Structure 1
Amino acid sequence: VLYYRGIPAEIEEKTIPGCSLLCPLDKFIELMANVTPNEAEMKCQF
């Protein structure tokens, strides 16, 4: 994953545990599922 640090423009390469440096999107979504709110959780916030 490329992490943009803002101004000044700096980009850091980050590795997500369980994935290679260039993590495919479907694998990223799978790995982040437990920390990403689902639709029902999003509705509860508003």
Structure 2
Amino acid sequence: MIDNFALGLAHGLMMIAAFLLLRRPDLDSEVKPDTAVERRRRRA
């Protein structure tokens, strides 16, 4: 019983992580690598 719970919990957390990663708005934007570095520098 506990094995099924652990397996379900692990898979559920992985599904949530995948869902949140796929919802990120920057996933669809294609930015040149040099401009991405500049953006990070501006934020910091």
Fold-level similarity (TM above 0.5): no
Structure with greater contact order relative to length (CA < 8 Å, sep ≥ 6)? 1
Q: Which has the higher helix share?
A: 2
When you count strand as a share of all residues, which structure comes out higher?
1
Query: Into which bin does the TM-score normalised by the smaller protein fall?
Result: 0.3 to 0.5
Answer with 1 or 2: which has the greater Rg.
2
TM-score scaled to structure 1, two decimals?
0.36
- Calculate the TM-score normalised by the size of structure 2: 0.36
